[in-house]
Structure 1
Amino acid sequence: MKKQTLLLIALLIFQNVFSQFFKDKDGVTKYDGYFTFYYNVNEDKIYLEIEKLNAEFLYVRSLSEGIGSNDIGLDRGQLGNGVVVYFKRAGNKILLIQPNQKYRALTSNDDERKSVQEAFAKSVLHGFVIKEQNKGKYLVDATDFFIRDAHGVANRLEQKKQGSYSLDKSRSAINLERTKAFPKNVEFDVLLTFKGKPKSYTIRSVTPDASSITVHQHHSFVELPDNQYQTRIYDARSGSYPMSYLDYATPVNQSIVKRFIYRHRLEKKDPSATVSEAKDPIIYYLDRGAPEPVRSALMEGARWWNQAFEAIGYKDAFQ
C-alpha cells in the first residue's frame, strides 16, 4: 500500500510533462531552474528538460576539485573555456552546438550573415537522444555529457608526462551536493576517476594511489545578459588584452579585424551625479578556506581598487 501511494505521488508530480517516461521510475527528484532537470538516485542519472531551442546561452566548465600540483596545472577552481552554445533539434536528437564566433557578418542582410555562417565550421559538442516530447519540451538523458573528461584531464596528464590515463565511468558519479538549479543558471558537479599507469614522481606525490586519480568537474549553463553592453575598442596603449574576430560585413576601406578590450560592465545608478554607486557593482568572492592573516590582507588589497573607480566617479563599485 505504501509503495502504491509513493508511486501515485510520483505520477502526480510528473504527469504534466513527462508522465510516460517517469511512470515506472522511483527515486526521481525534479529541480526547477534556468533549465529544469531531474535526478534519478537509483540510476545516478541526470535528465535534462529542454525547451529553449535555438536560444544561445553560456556553457562553462571547471575543476571544482583538482590534483594539487602546480607543475601539472590541474588545480581546484581552474576554469575551462566559457563558450556560447545553443540547442537545436535534428530528427530524434537534440544537438548542443557551439557557433563559430571567430568569423561574423554584422549586418542586417540575412543572406550575408548566412553565407559567413556556412563558410566556416561550427562544433557540435554533444547529441542527446530524445526520451520524450510533450508540450514543446524535450526530455534527454544528459548523464554522459556531464560524466566525461570535458576539462581534458587525461590529455594534460599525458602532456606533462605523468602517465597514460582514461576515464573510468564505473568509479565516476554525479556529485549531488554541488548540483543545483537557479533562475538564471544551473550547476552540475561530477566526480571523475581516471585509471592508468603513473610515470612520474610528481603525480605519485599528490595522490594516495597514482593509478587511480579522482577529481571533480563542474558544468554551468548560464543565461546570457541583455545586449546593452557597450564595447570598447582595443588600444595597445591601454595595457589590456584584446579579444578579436573578423567581420566580413566591414566596408572594403576598413580593417576586417575587430579588436576589443575585456572589461566589466559598470553603469551608474545616477548618470548625472559626479560620484554614484553602480547599478551592479563588481563583486569578487574570497575563498572561505583562506586563513588569517592572509584573508584580511587579500580583502584589504582588493579594496584598493575602489580608489581607481572613485577617480572615475563610482562609489563602492568594487566589492
Structure 2
Amino acid sequence: WIDIVLMVLGTVGAIGDGMSTNVALVFASKIMNSLGYGQHNPHTFKDEVQKTGPYEITTRWTMVMKFSLLPWKPELVFTGLSIMAVNPETKKFCSHLDLWDSINNNDYFSFEGLVDVFKQLRVYKTPDLETPKYQILKRTANYEVRKYEPFIVVETNGDKLSGSSGFNNVAGYIFGKNATMEKIPMTTPVFTQATDPELSSVSVQIVIPSGKDLSSLPMPNEEKINLKKLEGGFAAAVKFSGKPTEDVVREKENELRKSLSKDGLKAKTGCMLARYNDPGRTWSFIMRNEVIIWLVEFSLD
C-alpha cells in the first residue's frame, strides 16, 4: 500500500525537493476522516530532512490534529522521525519506519503508543481566546518543547505562583483603566512567573493581543504596572488539570526540571504557571494548567 500512497501523493519527486510528511500517519488520518472517525485536518510541520544512507532519507516532523468525535475536540500532538528507504532500481520507497518521541516501543502495534493516544483524549477546557503563538518542536512522554514567538505582557508583582494577588490590577489595565481608557481584548493564559531558584519572586502577567505593539499601547494608570515585550524562544511545558495549588505547581516544576536534566537540556532559572481558565467558573478537573520552563537553547537531533 505504501507504493500506492506514494503514487497518489507524488512524493517520490517531492521529497527530493524537500517535502516531508509522516506518510503513514497522514494517510491513516485521512482514512479515519473519510470514515467519519473525526480525526481531520492534520497539520504536519517539517523540521528537517536528512540523507542518512545511500538510499535512505530521515525526516523529523510534528503532527497536530483534532479528534472531532469527542465533544471537547481534544488536540493530539505527535512528533518523531520517519526513516524511508528507496529501492534504487524502481526509484520507489520500499520501507518506512516511524519513531515517535513520546514512546519507546515503536512496533507496528504498540500498546504504549495506544496509551499515549488515549492519554491525550482527556478533557481540558481551553477558552476560545488568543494565546501566545508557538510551534511544538518535540513532544516526549513527560513534556513538550515549544518555540514561542515574541509577545507583550502587562505585568505587576504577585505573591506566589498559585496566587491571584495583582491580577485585578493587570486585568483593570486591559478593561480600560489606562491613560486612554482603551479596552483591550482578553487573552489566555494568565501567567505567573518566578525568576529566582526559590520561586518566590513572582509577577502576574496578562498577554496583550498580537496586533498591538509597545508604541501604540496606552500607558498604565498605576506605577506598579508595567508593559514588557518577551522575546520568546524555546521552552518546555507540562500540562495538567485540577487546582494548581502551590504544592502541585512546585512538584510539577521539580519533575519537569528533572526530566529536562535527564534528557540533557539546560533549563533557565525559575518557571511560569499558565492558567487558562477562570477558577470561579471552571470545574477543577477540566482546568488547563501548564508549568513552563524556558530553555537556554534547543536543537533537534
Same fold flag (TM > 0.5): no
TM-score normalised to the size of structure 2? 0.25
